[in-house]
C-alpha cells in the first residue's frame, strides 16, 4: 500500500512539476489573500505572503537547521534559507523535483560554501534518513495530506526535532466531525480528491491536534485558514485557460490532465466547508 502510494505520488509530481513551474513558478502551495480572503494580489506574491504569515503565526525566530518535508522544487526551502541564513534540507519522493531543486540551489548560490545552504534528496517522510534531534525547525507545507500514516509521520518529525525546536505543519483537512459525521456525499467528494491528487486520506484539524498531544508535543496551537486561501483555486483554474498551460497539459500526460480537469473539486470543497486548510504548530521540550 505505502510503496504503491509512494510510486503514485512520485509519478504525479515527476510529471506535473515542470508544468507547474512553467506556469506558476517555484512555489507549489496555496496563496494568502488576507484573513477574509478578499485581498487582490499577484499570485506569486500571495504565495510568498503565505510563507511570511505562517512564520509570523508560528513565531519562528532564527532557526539554523531547517527540514522542509515535501519540498517540491525547493521554493520554500530556498526562501527560508535566505531569510534566516540557515542550512535547509528538503526531502521529496520525486527525483525530478529533487533534481530541479538542486539546480535552483546552485543558481541561487546556496549549494555549497558558507552562509545559507540548501540541499535536497529523495526520502520517505515516514522513515527519514536523519539522526534524532537534527533540526530546530521542521516545515511541512501541504505535504501531510500525502502521508499514509499521519501519526507515524508526526512521530518522525518529533524524533528529528531538537529540544526547543518548532514543528509547523500546514495541511489539507476535512471539516471537524465531532458534531456531525461525514455524509456519504462528502465522503465521495473526498474520495474523488484523493484519487486525483494521490492522497490516502485526510483528517480533521482536531484529529491532528489529538495526535500531537499523544506524541508529547508541547505548546500545541492550531488554526483554520480556509477563508484566507480559498481564492487560490479560482486563480489556478483561471491560469489553466492560457495557451501556454493548455499546450503544457497536452504534453504532461493523463495524470496531470486529470488533475487539471478536477480543480473544481477543491474549489467546491472550500465553498461547501468540507475542505479545510489547517495549521498546527508545536514544540519539543
| Residues listed for the chain | 285
Tens-place pLDDT, residues 96-148: 999 999 999 999 999 876 678 999 999 999 999 999 999 999 999 999 999 99
What does the alpha-carbon distance between residue 46 and residue 29 come to, in Å, rounded to a whole number? 10
Question: Which residues, at least 6 apart from 123, have a Cβ–Cβ distance to it below 8 Å?
Answer: 91, 92, 93, 129
Residue 23 has a pLDDT of 78
Spatial distance between the Cα atoms of 134 and 128, rounded to a whole number of angstroms: 11
At 96, is the secondary structure helix, strand, or coil?
helix
**Beta strands 65-69; 87-92: pairing state:** parallel
Grid cell in block for residue 192: 474523488
Q: How far is CA 268 from the centre of its chain?
A: 20
Q: How far is CA 76 from CA 68, 73, 105, in A?
A: 8, 9, 11
Rounded CA separation 23/26 (Å): 10
Nearest to 54 by CA among 168, 181, 201, 213: 168
The pLDDT assigned to 54 comes to 98
- At 261, list the grid cell: 480537469
What pLDDT, on the 0 to 100 scale, is given for residue 38? Answer: 97
What is the grid cell recorded at 49?
505572503
CB atoms within 10 A of CB 77: 29
In whole angstroms, what is the distance from residue 180 CA to residue 239 CA? 36
| CATH code that applies to domain 2-283 | 3.40.50.150
What is the model's pLDDT at position 279?
98
pLDDT number for residue 121: 97
For the chain, which ranges sit under pLDDT 70? 1-2, 113-114, 240-261
| Orientation of helix 231-239 relative to helix 43-57, angle to 10° | 150
Query: How far apart (Å, rounded) are the C-alpha atoms in residues 225 and 37?
Result: 9
CA separation for the pair 56, 272 (Å, rounded): 28
Q: How far is the C-alpha of 195 from the C-alpha of 191, rounded, in Å?
A: 6
Burial class (CB in 10 A: 0-12, 13-18, 19+), 35: exposed
Contact yes or no for 235/267 (Cβ under 8 A): no
Phi-psi region of 82 (alpha: psi -120 to 50; beta: other; left: phi over 0): alpha
| Cα-only R_g, the chain | 18
Amino acid at each position: 500500500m505505502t510503496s504503491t502510494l509512494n510510486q503514485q505520488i512520485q509519478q504525479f509530481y515527476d510529471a506535473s512539476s515542470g508544468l507547474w513551474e512553467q506556469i506558476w513558478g517555484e512555489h507549489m502551495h496555496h496563496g494568502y489573500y488576507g484573513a477574509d480572503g478578499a485581498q487582490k494580489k499577484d499570485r506569486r506574491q500571495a504565495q510568498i505572503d503565505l510563507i511570511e504569515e505562517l512564520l509570523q503565526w508560528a513565531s519562528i525566530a532564527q532557526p539554523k537547521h531547517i527540514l522542509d518535508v515535501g519540498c517540491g522544487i525547493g521554493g520554500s526551502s530556498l526562501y527560508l534559507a535566505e531569510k534566516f541564513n540557515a542550512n535547509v534540507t528538503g526531502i521529496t519522493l520525486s527525483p525530478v523535483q529533487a533534481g530541479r531543486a538542486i539546480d535552483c540551489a546552485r543558481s541561487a548560490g546556496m549549494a555549497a560554501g558558507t552562509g545559507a545552504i540548501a540541499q535536497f534528496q529523495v526520502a520517505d517522510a515516514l522513515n527519514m534518513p536523519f539522526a534524532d534531534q537534527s533540526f530546530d525547525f521542521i516545515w511541512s507545507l501541504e505535504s501531510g495530506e500525502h502521508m499514509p500514516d499521519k501519526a507515524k509521520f508526526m512521530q518522525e518529525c518529533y524524533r528529528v526535532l531538537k529540544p526547543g525546536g518548532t514543528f509547523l505543519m500546514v495541511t489539507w483537512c476535512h471539516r471537524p466531525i465531532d458534531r456531525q459525521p461525514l455524509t456519504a456525499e462528502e465522503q465521495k467528494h473526498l474520495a474523488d480528491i484523493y484519487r486525483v491528487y494521490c492522497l490516502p486520506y485526510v483528517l480533521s484539524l482536531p484529529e491532528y491536534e489529538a495526535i500531537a498531544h499523544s506524541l508529547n508535543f508541547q505548546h500545541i496551537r492550531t488554526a483554520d485558514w480556509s477563508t484566507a486561501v480559498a481564492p487560490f483555486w479560482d486563480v489556478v483554474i483561471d491560469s489553466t485557460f492560457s495557451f501556454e498551460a493548455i499546450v503544457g497539459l497536452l504534453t504532461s500526460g493523463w495524470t496531470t490532465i486529470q488533475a487539471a480537469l478536477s480543480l473544481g473539486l477543491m474549489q467546491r470543497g472550500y465553498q461547501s466547508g468540507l475542505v479545510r486548510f489547517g495549521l498546527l504548530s508545536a514544540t519539543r521540550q
